[in-house]
Amino acid sequence: MKFALAKVTAVKALAQHRLALRFADGAEGVYDCTPLLWGEVFAPLKDGKFFAQVYLDHGAPAWPNGADLDPGVLREAIEPLPGKGKPAARKVKAKLKARAVAEDQAPYAAPAPAGKPSALVDTRVVYCGDNLEQLQKLPPACVDLIYIDPPFNSNRNYEVFWGETKEKRAFEDRHESTKAYIEYMRPRCVELARVLKKTGSFYYHCDWHASHYVKVMLDQIFGENNFQNEIIWKRTHAHGSAGRFAPVHDTIFFFSGGEKHTWTNPTVPHEPDYVTKHFKNLDDKGRAFSPISLTGSGTRNGESGKPWRGIDPTKVGRHWAIPGDVMKRHKLSGETVQDRLDALDKAGLVYWPRDGDGTPRLKWYADELDGMAIGTVWNDIPPIAANAAERLGYPTQKPIALLERIIKASSNENDIVLDAFCGCGTALVAAQKLKRQWIGIDISPTACRVMAKRLRDVCGLPESEPLWRAGRGFVVRDLPWTVEKLRAMPPFEFENWAVIALGGIPNKTQVGDMGIDGRIFPVSAEANFPRRREGDLAGLDAEKFYPIQVKQKDKVGRPDIDAFQTVLLRENCDKGFFVSFDYSADAEREAGAFFKRTGKSIVLFTVDDILNEQLARKLA
């Protein structure tokens, strides 16, 4: 017997001797591996009526949970496997045999839990690291929607989260030329195209500095035929710009993964002026409507060209044209066109000219408007205001309404959304609020921690490995949770990591920070200032707070403690926190002596204390 076998395109190892498989036709499933010496997995054939017993030449299934395997380990053959038994040698190629099962026998495949996406890719995960490396680990065609807002050629350095004062040095041009910028982005976009489904969509957010070069690159990678739109988003108001028109917009390039991409036909409400101008008539119930034509251009020989109530549309070169959605909305019907016109009139939906002369028209009600199709110029989503509740202080943070529009337009609930330059996590928050699955990647550890806090605070999503495994939480992967990596971290990143780890708000100002790298506000202060945001310390000097000082030193000495004592005395703070890798004996003695003299305490934390979760013990 010979069968048309299903080609396996991706394999992922799961716990308890299970494999997740994706087939060329898009079907997916999770299958048990029996613990034989050479391994065995049951896989369906394309018609779903047979099992395929696939033998693996990698020995017993003992791969680590979550490992991505080469589909080549599933060697395909169509001749039956000779009798079972141990292969003569490890080098023997695995064979594949198929056996029929009864039509009423359920296939041996565990159904995917409701609300859970593909078993081949983990979602609700934030990865900290180079997105090129992480993208290469993802299986092909696993993502429904990709949005990226990568570093522009202007330039933002993604190793730095807060861009203020002396840290603006890190905003120097990372890419020495446009060519270098494109070379940096090209391999990443190639990987993004690889992981995008044929039904998926890709959005690239950029500005005028390199947008024309980006478009050429994307045409080469995604294909010119898959280009859908160039979206113009007005991100700011007009401002002075010497010798030129003021640049006030960003560009978003929209590509599809194939011809049949997901599209939900999004709309926006009509402008009030439009409704006032076009819906001037009122019916006997006070509903505003606009009389629109019940005819279409051109004559017809069938029913639509016949007269109705003495009115012949063909005399003026037209025919009756009744909108189908109107009949459906009002649950009307009729065998002929004339019957349907009678039904409309009986329902009070036909507008007759007052003078009795002229063609009747359809009453189009303002409260039945479906909304206005969204064009490619978006000037209805303002940038984030300085006092907006969602503002985090991130240099290029985008409004959540912008991401919600994109996600609603190009995905459905439970689809997978990927942001490979996720910064402060706006795309992830929007995806979570809209009931999508999501994956985030960013190279900045501070950005990853801030977006994790945002997911917890804004979405109410717990950061927990057990809850994530149960489908009710999220996790952050690959943070530099080792002393060695923290030592190598850029100083400003290290300061932000330490402050956020203590639950504080980082100070954006690095020059003239008066010895304060961050602040912790007690509950009483939070109650008096509920709209405080990360990095937003202006106007809070009168609030009660505890200062944080961070030193990326192997061993902090007494002079550093003396300087921090001055901060506590100047700010009249009862307590302060110090973070470093270690402290000299003199530093520890001076912190104790300061408490005896003033009653003000300096709590000394080491990096090991934070990594080993000793914060609660020291704060007790």
CATH code of the domain containing 584: 3.40.1350
Q: Residue 429: what pLDDT? A: 96
Tell me if 53 is assigned to some domain: yes
Q: Are residues 457 and 512 in the same domain?
A: no
Please name which of 156, 44, 171 lies closest in space to residue 100, comparing C-alpha atoms. 44
Domain CATH code at residue 194: 3.40.50.150
Structure-block tokens of residue 344: 């409309």
Structure-block tokens of residue 379: 């000037």
pLDDT in tens, 551-604: 999 999 999 999 999 999 999 999 999 999 999 999 999 999 999 999 999 999
More confident residue, 236 or 58: 236
Structure-block tokens of residue 48: 């779903």
Q: Are residues 234 and 146 in the same domain?
A: yes
* Element spanning 615, H or E: helix 615-619
Phi, psi for residue 213 in degrees, rounded to 5? -70, -35
Tell me if 572 is assigned to some domain: yes
pLDDT over 80 (residue 346): yes
Q: Are residues 219 and 74 in the same domain?
A: no
Tell me if 277 is assigned to some domain: yes
Q: Are residues 453 and 338 in the same domain?
A: no
Distance of CA 10 to the CA centre of its chain: 23
d(CA 189, CA 205): 13
Q: Are residues 423 and 505 in the same domain?
A: no
Per mean pLDDT, which range of 7-11, 56-60, 240-244 is the poorest?
56-60
Number of domains present in the structure of the chain = 4
d(CA 297, CA 431): 44
Q: Are β-strands 143-148 and 416-419 bridged in parallel, bridged antiparallel, or unpaired?
A: parallel
pLDDT over 90 (residue 455): yes
Q: Are residues 162 and 227 in the same domain?
A: yes
* Element spanning 276, H or E: helix 272-278
Whole-number mean pLDDT of the chain? 76
Q: Are residues 133 and 217 in the same domain?
A: yes
More confident residue, 53 or 144: 144
Q: Are residues 362 and 429 in the same domain?
A: no
Phi, psi for residue 617 in degrees, rounded to 5? -65, -40
Tell me if 486 is assigned to some domain: no
Q: Are residues 398 and 448 in the same domain?
A: yes
pLDDT in tens, 412-436: 999 999 999 998 899 999 999 999 9
d(CA 155, CA 524): 40
Distance of CA 2 to the CA centre of its chain: 44
d(CA 30, CA 566): 62
Please name which of 37, 92, 86 lies closest in space to residue 61, comparing C-alpha atoms. 37
Last residue of a domain, one of 100, 135, 165: 100
Tell me if 615 is assigned to some domain: yes
Q: Residue 205: what pLDDT? A: 96
Tell me if 2 is assigned to some domain: no
Which domain range does residue 260 map to?
Answer: 125-266+376-477
d(CA 220, CA 185): 13
Structure-block tokens of residue 52: 């395929």
Which distant-in-sequence residues (6+ apart) come within 8 Å of 273 by Cβ? none
Q: Are residues 47 and 79 in the same domain?
A: yes
Confidence of residue 29 (pLDDT cuts 50, 70, 90): low
Structure-block tokens of residue 239: 């401002």
Structure-block tokens of residue 365: 């009600």
Tell me if 487 is assigned to some domain: no
Confidence of residue 397 (pLDDT cuts 50, 70, 90): confident
Last residue of a domain, one of 346, 368, 390: 368
d(CA 230, CA 78): 49
DSSP structural state of residue 316? G
Q: How far is CA 22 from CA 12, 28, 51, 577, in A?
A: 9, 5, 15, 51
Q: Are residues 574 and 589 in the same domain?
A: yes
Last residue of a domain, one of 477, 512, 537: 477
d(CA 131, CA 149): 13
Tell me if 484 is assigned to some domain: no
Q: Are residues 610 and 498 in the same domain?
A: yes
Q: How far is CA 566 from CA 30, 223, 506, 576, 619, in A?
A: 62, 62, 20, 11, 22
Count CB-CB contacts under 10 A for residue 408.
Answer: 14
- Residue 71, classed as helix, strand or coil, is helix
Which DSSP string corresponds to 92-124? SPP-EEEEE--TTSPPS-BPPPTT---TTS--S
Gyration radius of the chain's alpha carbons: 32
pLDDT in tens, 264-311: 999 998 888 888 888 989 998 999 999 999 999 999 999 999 999 999
Count CB-CB contacts under 10 A for residue 285.
Answer: 6
